[in-house]
Structure 1
């Protein structure tokens, strides 16, 4: 399920993300390009020459010659500025902004919109101010700057994205001045922003209001655009429900899985109807660009929904494809035409298959190879004719990829180098530059040019680092595919570094440098994954190396895993033995080993997770698997750990390894936790290095003992939670507890507002799913608090000087084999600004939880490190109580272990 339709979503990231993703498409000013421009008589009398220039520019624009249009409009603008003709300055600036956006010059676009807004304010033309702000907001949204867009449209608060209609916002101006067209435009753009942020219900509500207005004022052209937006919103909602079905499948929730699949089918049908209605309008108006956008949307939807068995989808998709190919020849040259040609050339057969990245694999194209090549060459020609280096870069790069797939590496490299050059001409084309550097690296590697390959990969990673955050946030509804798209780049780069290290002496500095580079690449990927999972504009606190050194004590070893398609690397960072002789020698020593078969490792992890929970099986089937995992991950470094007198192991896990309860690994005699304190962290640079101060600790303890039903799913009562909460609050003076009906999302927020609690302990059912929407805690009154709401509340109300030291979630569970679920669990520490979290990988009988928690907090009060406190609590359950690992192994410490 998680890979369902992934190939099509990845394609959307690589192409559609860089198209004009906004369906509103600048309709407020687009009309001036489709009909004769009428100029004010005063303006014509004063400056007939500039008005003729403007008309000439419009003719250039219609034929796709953006550069010529810009040149004459700039001349006209200078003339109007010399006569202080504000009215016509605004008109020309609008056209310049649209033309600049067509060729990817977004800084110039923003500059023109801002100047036009200033001119309109000077004139007191406030209706125009509101409309221009809507246009500027669309540009910001297209660049992934969604908060700026919302602020312009309706003045959203800093806390959330709800529209507050602040004074001077586009929506407030339109409603105050009864500008219905401006109101429809602002609402349409706002709906698009919400959609791009993944808030589909809010997007649909806003777009439906916009649609109603367009019907009331009979704005037919605009209505087709809003219908298109609604189709995209329902399509995004359908994909989200498919993802939720996958998450439910991994949890074993069959009823919920069926429910989400049914919802996805309903959403796809809604999307289909909206797209068809929009296409009908654009056909009636002979709006060819609008028709092309509608057809592309329909083709994508038909192929995306094939698994849902919607009626006659493949036949309809074929008809839409042929119509799009015919229509393409009749479109005027433009950047959108270039991308439409690329989209059609790259279209794949609707076959469901597992994939990591379509950028690196050769697709099974829907069109014949020769036809796809012809389309891409046509795209290159058009892009060059309109002098749009950004679209030219994509067309050349895709042509290079086509030859890469043919293994014609000379031509592949030729076109790829041209794509790199074109992308480099425009700073905003970095979103393609990293792709072509990466592609060049693959080609160089294929022809055994190692140094050139490494240099290209390094340039790709460096370029991506500059733009990663904006790309991650640009379009929320394709986040899954974006993670899958960029992940192979980081992993391939790390692999090259590791393979180079293999050829070097372990004692050499070069060996250490290559391992550092590999780990840095994977750390960057982990940060991207966290941003990707939570899908918001939060900037994580990243600590510098000097602060990280404070974490890596002399008794600590750090294990990092890097999962490749065929094998997995385990890298261990150990104290430098010279440090004891010379304290200035702080640099740690790194070593690595390969696990030879990633597929075998993944199957072993899944089976281990299943078998360890079979506490009723006297044969302990998990033990053999626990020993296998120990031999793969720990054993190669066992002598190093002994020699360095290591007491604490910190794991920075990758992918499915995040779901492994490392405490339960077994060396044939003992569990790993019997010898080492254990912690896990998303990354050292994301881990707060400050040790725990046990003075003044107090707890906000919340719990639920009653049965609950959330979204139709039943959760059993937790009889021992009352005792657990009582014990926690009694250990720390000044603590407070909220049980059952007292524990609600609202009461939690109220407590966080009123006081600072260094420890927040929550004893209730919780689940972490593939997406944040399916990660929540059950509260009283049959309510829930999503993990996003929880981290937002903690981050908002905890102060920088007194952050939450520990967040304990003691009755959680993750789906077996769901690496994204554990990513969400690990990420809550850095997302919420919590120094450490204690959580469970699966639900544990609450009597055992109560005892482990009580011992953990008692140990913590005696000034043990957090990792040591958990270790001692787990060892007590092992030795004194003889409790099965299913009852103590799932508890993991995340984040700061000091």
Structure 2
């Protein structure tokens, strides 16, 4: 909080104001509220003094977590100060109001008050501090600048920096916080603390980028990001230490303990790289415990006690409430005392949000210590207070999830499912705003969303195995599982790309309704969704106007009995399948053993439901590692043919992101982009693509109305310029495309050793004036996915949808051979055939290659192209019609 309580001028009710100040200073916040509210009633016709009291009330409301009242008081103070022409104070109140919105997990609202405009992350200069800060005249920052109000300017810039940190824009956050520091070189301890947090967050991001570079095999980039990460971690430590010293010297215990807690958490998260040695860590821990004892009752006291109770010297970097920590620094008794005291403090403060958090934290302690009765008692209390006036939706899902786990332990399966379902619905409701309000932490997707969604799906599926469930109820359970799996796929995409662009194109209807509404378009189409759970993997089959079918992946042994295939075994088999396909170039005849085994596991159980007479196309909606392989190459050993020979095959991350529509393809323009030369991007070498001229020539012959950008002409600015001038329904890219474990490492290699990033691709394609002008088909023919992380294939499946393309044909791995131009040419000939769907156009092209040995020499096709290494990697994504 950037401010201190202040005295009123009028003498009569001033006694009440002074008494309130005494109580506030002594930590008797409820008494302070009582006195100041009484004083305010007497100042109704005195805006000058009413402003001061409203300002004080806002501060005390923030201390006790009553943010709604704080907002009302600050808004009233702004009106009061405006009425007496004190614009300087209006600006300061805007800053304080922004602080409250930031605490509530609404940083964008805070930025609007502080500066009036949001700086786009993609437009920030990499040179720190080089971008001038431009805010609108009525914003808090500009009011402070105009009135030469140093304290107001520090507050505005400091809170602005903190808000940008909370939306994950760390470079901009650091720039604003340094600007705040420059206004007053001796610095505010709160600015220093915020700088520590911003540098820590950026260090974590650099660490992720270093891991991504490592997976992609870019040694120089891995080293660069590792060094940047280490430098930022050290910088964070220094800022926290300086903040602690300054707060201590100014006798500000709340700010001091915040700094200590941040320093301790930094040490806990970075124990392996020793940013903080053991002595500093333990001393900071001891100091925090001492200060906590004498701290007045406040939100900081409650959160501080919980953080210290669960503190580990080496944390797993995940939410403490999603697993049971094993190496807590304190003894069980010490931790329990802190948690019980946090419950007492929160009850005294009578703040729903705090009470919910304290009860939930104590409930988790008992869950981890296997006292399920106590665990459920406190968890239920946490749910009730979080649900009261929807005061803490951001933690409600945590406690509902916790209750589900406890009920599961007590074997109360149906009640557990009901709890998981409520947690899922709450999280779906708040997921778009990823911030966890007031906790200064962004929840980690893998830590929170994925395990919760999968737990709920598993529980519902396991319930179907127990006892006799009526068909109607069974159908309802399965449709809910489909919704959960679909929500998980969408959440993964949103998390991967780090924005809501995907969600803006989302069909609001549930999957079941979409199938019914589009039954004509989906005629002859089957949808197979996979869900990978602990220990086993399930497949759901949906057919228009039919009941959903479900099977666990099982292995039939020689005795005719089946056994569930563990997820680990399936993952190894999938990796073996992929390796075998890629290795195919070295072998004359492809060994179909693994492909046949996977066919028996995934496809054969549904053989009766997907007979080729009625089902012509299979659309796969895959989970995790199943995304990294082409289903087209599964082998039916009974019929002695590949899956693609029986069905057209496509994939989509979610039906709710797919617009099934057939469009006129007779007179389409094509933009053809190609790279033949070798290139080096971020220190990684990409080989020359010798087959690209032949591929490009084949595409040109089929699209006479084409524009081409090849080698040095194929650079990001030329690509953007062409799309601005003309609409191209088909964009063909014959170049390397890399999909990393983070979106930043997902790009297309262009000429002059440059790259076209996902953001650039999206920005270029967004220039279309209307939806009718958008790209119908994006073809990427030389892709590389980073093996070892299933998020890389999210890039492949999501890129078309992210950039607003209806359909994509892309390669799961790079095949640098003339086989690509052979496949692409046949695909485009089929694509131009009005009666053929995109999936069928690709199917017919792939079948032609499978039959390479049977075709007459006049076809001019290499007989080795029957090997799936040449035809299998190409997959259809999105709209398959």
Which of the pair is proportionally richer in helix? 1
Cα-to-partner distance string for 1:28-49 (whole Å, 9 max, x where unaligned): x2x23xxxx3434xxx15xx21
Q: How far apart are the structure 1 equivalents of 2:845 and 2:403? A: 53
Matches within 5 A, 1:101-180: 101-156=62-117, 164-180=134-150
Task: Tell me the secondary structure at the aligned position of residue 808 of structure 1.
Answer: strand
Q: How far apart are the structure 2 equivalents of 1:406 and 1:420? A: 20
Retained in 1: the 8 A contact 2:115–2:139? yes
Q: Which moved more, 1:276-285 or 1:637-646?
A: 637-646
Retained in 1: the 8 A contact 2:7–2:52? no
Post-superposition shift, 1:789?
Answer: 3.4
Post-superposition shift, 1:612?
Answer: 2.3
Post-superposition shift, 1:106?
Answer: 3.6
Cα-to-partner distance string for 1:408-442 (whole Å, 9 max, x where unaligned): 11111111111112212242311222211221121
Q: How far apart are the structure 1 equivalents of 2:231 and 2:582? A: 37
In the alignment, which residue of structure 1 is the partner of 2:39? Answer: 76
Tell me, yes or no, if structure 1 residue 822 matches structure 2 residue 787.
no
Post-superposition shift, 1:366?
Answer: 2.4
Q: Which moved more, 1:163-172 or 1:661-670?
A: 163-172
Retained in 1: the 8 A contact 2:220–2:683? no
1:101 and 1:710, CA in 2 relative to 1: closer, same or farther beyond 3 A? farther
In the alignment, which residue of structure 2 is the partner of 1:869? Answer: 841
In the alignment, which residue of structure 2 is the partner of 1:580? Answer: none
The normalised TM-score by structure 1 is: 0.87
1:821 and 1:54, CA in 2 relative to 1: closer, same or farther beyond 3 A? farther
1:824 and 1:135, CA in 2 relative to 1: closer, same or farther beyond 3 A? farther
Q: How far apart are the structure 1 equivalents of 2:534 and 2:591? A: 25
Q: 1:763 aligns with which of 734, 737, 744?
A: 734
Tell me, yes or no, if structure 1 residue 485 matches structure 2 residue 448.
yes
Q: Which moved more, 1:650-659 or 1:158-167?
A: 158-167
Q: How far apart are the structure 2 equivalents of 1:785 and 1:173? A: 41
1:384 and 1:589, CA in 2 relative to 1: closer, same or farther beyond 3 A? closer
Tell me, yes or no, if structure 1 residue 591 matches structure 2 residue 550.
yes
1:690 and 1:893, CA in 2 relative to 1: closer, same or farther beyond 3 A? same
Cα-to-partner distance string for 1:455-483 (whole Å, 9 max, x where unaligned): 22222222222222223587999657234
1:86 and 1:870, CA in 2 relative to 1: closer, same or farther beyond 3 A? farther
Q: How far apart are the structure 2 equivalents of 1:426 and 1:352? A: 34
Q: How far apart are the structure 2 equivalents of 1:730 and 1:125? A: 73
Cα-to-partner distance string for 1:282-326 (whole Å, 9 max, x where unaligned): 22222211111111111111122222244x623322222122112
Q: 2:48 aligns with which of 79, 84, 87?
A: 87
Matches within 5 A, 1:730-741: 730-732=701-703, 734-741=705-712
Tell me, yes or no, if structure 1 residue 376 matches structure 2 residue 335.
no
Task: Tell me the secondary structure at the aligned position of residue 777 of structure 1.
Answer: strand
Cα-to-partner distance string for 1:619-653 (whole Å, 9 max, x where unaligned): 87874332332222112112321276311111111
Q: How far apart are the structure 1 equivalents of 2:286 and 2:793? A: 44
Q: Which moved more, 1:657-666 or 1:370-379?
A: 657-666
Show structure 2 runs of 5+ residues with no match: 125-132, 555-563, 853-861
Matches within 5 A, 1:285-296: 285-296=250-261
Q: 1:411 aligns with which of 360, 366, 374?
A: 374
In the alignment, which residue of structure 2 is the partner of 1:860? Answer: 831
Q: 1:704 aligns with which of 664, 672, 675?
A: 675
Task: Tell me the secondary structure at the aligned position of residue 765 of structure 1.
Answer: strand
Q: Which moved more, 1:298-307 or 1:728-737?
A: 728-737
Retained in 2: the 8 A contact 1:299–1:320? yes
Task: Tell me the secondary structure at the aligned position of residue 817 of structure 1.
Answer: coil
Q: How far apart are the structure 2 equivalents of 1:725 and 1:100? A: 67
Retained in 2: the 8 A contact 1:154–1:171? yes
1:686 and 1:238, CA in 2 relative to 1: closer, same or farther beyond 3 A? same
1:804 and 1:476, CA in 2 relative to 1: closer, same or farther beyond 3 A? farther
Cα-to-partner distance string for 1:527-553 (whole Å, 9 max, x where unaligned): 222222222244433322554441762
Task: Tell me the secondary structure at the aligned position of residue 406 of structure 2.
Answer: helix
Tell me, yes or no, if structure 1 residue 316 matches structure 2 residue 299.
no
In the alignment, which residue of structure 1 is the partner of 2:272? Answer: 307
Tell me, yes or no, if structure 1 residue 433 matches structure 2 residue 396.
yes
In the alignment, which residue of structure 2 is the partner of 1:338? Answer: 302
1:806 and 1:122, CA in 2 relative to 1: closer, same or farther beyond 3 A? farther
Structure with the bigger RCO (C-alpha within 8 Å, sep 6+) is: 1
Tell me, yes or no, if structure 1 residue 655 matches structure 2 residue 618.
no
In the alignment, which residue of structure 2 is the partner of 1:18? Answer: none
Q: How far apart are the structure 2 equivalents of 1:300 and 1:158? A: 29
Retained in 1: the 8 A contact 2:573–2:594? yes
Task: Tell me the secondary structure at the aligned position of residue 184 of structure 2.
Answer: helix
Retained in 2: the 8 A contact 1:473–1:535? no
Tell me, yes or no, if structure 1 residue 524 matches structure 2 residue 487.
yes
Matches within 5 A, 1:200-239: 200-215=170-185, 218=186, 220=187, 222=188, 224-239=189-204
Tell me, yes or no, if structure 1 residue 541 matches structure 2 residue 541.
no
1:386 and 1:351, CA in 2 relative to 1: closer, same or farther beyond 3 A? closer
Retained in 2: the 8 A contact 1:867–1:897? yes
Show structure 1 runs of 5+ residues with no match: 1-25, 576-585
Post-superposition shift, 1:831?
Answer: 3.0
Q: How far apart are the structure 1 equivalents of 2:438 and 2:542? A: 37
Q: How far apart are the structure 2 equivalents of 1:613 and 1:143? A: 50
Q: Which moved more, 1:807-816 or 1:406-415?
A: 807-816
Post-superposition shift, 1:517?
Answer: 1.0
Retained in 1: the 8 A contact 2:271–2:313? no
1:625 and 1:872, CA in 2 relative to 1: closer, same or farther beyond 3 A? same
Cα-to-partner distance string for 1:188-220 (whole Å, 9 max, x where unaligned): 2232233223232232223222212221xx4x4
Q: How far apart are the structure 2 equivalents of 1:879 and 1:58? A: 88
Cα-to-partner distance string for 1:543-570 (whole Å, 9 max, x where unaligned): 2255444176231111111111111111
Retained in 1: the 8 A contact 2:739–2:786? yes
Task: Tell me the secondary structure at the aligned position of residue 757 of structure 1.
Answer: coil
Q: 1:638 aligns with which of 586, 589, 607?
A: 607
Task: Tell me the secondary structure at the aligned position of residue 615 of structure 1.
Answer: helix
Retained in 2: the 8 A contact 1:65–1:385? no
In the alignment, which residue of structure 1 is the partner of 2:233? Answer: 268
Q: 1:625 aligns with which of 591, 594, 605?
A: 594
Q: Which moved more, 1:602-611 or 1:291-300?
A: 602-611
Tell me, yes or no, if structure 1 residue 196 matches structure 2 residue 160.
no
